[in-house]
Amino acid sequence: MDARLNVFGSPTAGKFLKHIVSAGQVVSDSGLPAATQELVKIRASQINGCGACTDMHTKEAVAAGESAVRLSLVAVWREATVFTEAERAALELTEEGTRIADAAGGVPDGVWANAAKHYDEEQLVSLVSLIALINAFNRLNVITRQPAGDYRPGQLG
pLDDT tens, position by position, 35-85: 999 999 999 999 999 999 999 999 999 999 999 999 999 999 999 999 999
In whole angstroms, what is the distance from residue 67 CA to residue 65 CA? 6
Domain-by-domain residue ranges, the chain?
33-143
In whole angstroms, what is the distance from residue 120 CA to residue 51 CA? 32
Q: What is the CATH number of domain 33-143?
A: 1.20.1290.10
Q: What is the DSSP letter of 67?
A: -
13 compared with 41, residue with greater pLDDT:
41
Indicate if the alpha-carbon torsion angle 155, 82, 50, 96 is positive or negative.
negative
Q: What is the DSSP letter of 65?
A: T
pLDDT tens, position by position, 77-135: 999 999 999 999 999 999 999 999 887 789 999 999 999 999 999 999 999 999 999 99
Q: How much is the pLDDT for 8?
A: 78
